[in-house]
Amino acid sequence: MMNVLLVGSGGREHALGWKLSQSKELSQLYIAPGNPGTAQVGTNVDLKDNDIAGLVKFAQEKDIGLVVVGPEDPLAMGLVDALTAVGIKAFGPTAAAAAIEADKAFAKKMMNAGSIPTAEGRVFEKYGDAKAYIASRDAAVVIKAAGLAKGKGVFVCNDPADGILAAEKVMVERIFGDAGERIIVEEKLVGQEASILAFVDGHNIYVMESSQDHKPVGDGDTGPNTGGMGAYSPAPVVTDKVLSQIEREVLVPLVDCMNRNGTPYSGILYAGIMITPGGPKVLEFNARFGDPEAQPIVMRMKSDLLEVMLAVCDLRLHKVQLNWDPRPAVCVVMASGGYPDSYEKGKVITGIEEAERSSDIKVFHAGTTGKDGQILTSGGRVLGVTALGTTIADAQANAYAAVKKINFDGAYYRSDIAAKALK
């Protein structure tokens, strides 16, 4: 039995906390800073996820056996390094390895070194150079902030003129702050996206069930990119043949390259993949569970998540066998009206208990806060309503039936999550 500290406050962390709380290995679960949802499965701690010194001190005081780092910022800031330095086990990559997400230019370098299939792209440090290059293109381009931009730093521009405007927003106006010091300009890949998440212990790779995220805010993948408006698992576009190709051509070479680079990778490796007519190609790597992909994935995970995470930390992932619920799961994100642009906070949320009456439905809190016994909105993405079903269509129907029971002023959600899987 051990005490566990989970770092983060979003829907991903509520999902991970919910799953960790079911472990027979768990004594006490703390979540820093958590949200009203995580408060139902553990004890919230008033520490920000970027307070590295405070988190290390808390872990020492509470005799924490494992720290699970949810979001990308504390990983990039070296929380795992700081914990390891004082002898505390931490699930997640070191700061040097987390650069696979925190620095897209580094990720490109690793992909080139491993001959990993990806879009052709160039890195720019000066806006003038980027502008000249984009202007010379006659096809669609993708503009990416090289640093961390909360999943929103990507612009898909069908007209190079729009690409120049996007580059200006990122590099000159700095809409993502320092994340826009450098940008990547890539060719646009065409196909269906899929999210492939794997546990990695530095050498061994255990691929989880596939999933598909829905980044744009509007139905039919229209409008600006968000942190993710919903997800489902499994993704039919990822056949067994495609999955083994992704393992062979993407995951194995990357883990290999990271070792050769002196930055061995441990934790969750997330590959955002475009299934193109020419085969799977990497869009991006993330150094943690996706949000909202974590929600349907953990709903389907029957194995003990804490046991798997400890196996990763102890370099014995090869001895683990994961079991999955064969039923699909669909997660629909309920967001604040106006997201991903400006939105109002403090709206009263009702209907969560009614929505959760079935054991096949779980409402994960993302941007919520508690006040005077009520749950209020406090973020752009507010809830992740997640449901299991015998088929994807069934899971989709269950999720939307639950969504309709929940109310808050200005609530917005896409109406087509998982529709691609039904085509």
- d(C-alpha 215, C-alpha 178), whole Å: 22
Q: What pLDDT score does 180 carry? A: 86
Q: Give the position of tokens 């229209």.
A: 222
d(CA 267, CA 165): 37
**Extents of the domains making up the chain:** 2-94, 126-181, 192-319, 329-422
pLDDT value, residue 267: 98
Q: What is the pLDDT of residues 134-190, one digit of tens each?
A: 988 888 888 888 888 877 788 888 888 889 999 999 989 898 998 888 888 988 888
What's this model's pTM, rounded to 2 decimal places?
0.92
Q: How many Å apart are CA 208 and CA 328, to the nearest integer? A: 13
What is the reported pLDDT for 183? 87
- With b for 16 or more beta-carbon neighbours within 10 A and e for fewer, the 270-292 pattern comes to bbbbbbeeeebbbbbbbbbbbbb
Q: Largest Cα–Cα distance of the chain, in whole Å? A: 61
Q: CATH fold of 329-422, please? A: Glycinamide Ribonucleotide Synthetase; Chain A, domain 4 (3.90.600)
126-181: CATH topology: Dna Ligase; domain 1 (3.30.1490)
What's the rounded Cα separation, in Å, for the pair 3 and 312? 17
* Dihedral sign of CA atoms 307, 25, 56, 178 in order: positive
Residue 7: per-residue pLDDT = 98
Q: What is the pLDDT along the chain (423 residues), one digit of tens a residue?
A: 999 999 999 999 999 999 999 999 999 999 999 999 999 999 999 999 999 999 999 999 999 999 999 999 999 999 999 999 999 999 999 999 999 999 988 999 999 999 999 988 888 888 998 888 898 888 888 888 888 887 778 888 888 888 999 999 998 989 899 888 888 898 888 899 999 999 999 999 999 999 999 999 999 999 988 999 999 999 999 999 999 999 999 999 999 999 999 999 999 999 999 999 999 999 999 999 999 999 999 999 999 999 999 999 999 999 999 999 999 999 999 999 999 999 999 999 999 999 999 999 999 999 999 999 999 999 999 999 999 999 999 999 999 999 999 999 999 999 999 999 998
SS3 43: strand
Q: Strands 2-8 and 26-33, how do they pair?
A: parallel
Fold adopted by 2-94? Rossmann fold (3.40.50)
Instruction: For domain 192-319, give its CATH number from 3.90.550.10, 3.30.200.190, 3.30.200.20, 3.30.470.20.
Output: 3.30.470.20
Please report the pLDDT score of residue 148 as a whole number. Answer: 82
Backbone angles phi, psi at 327, to 5 degrees: -75, 140
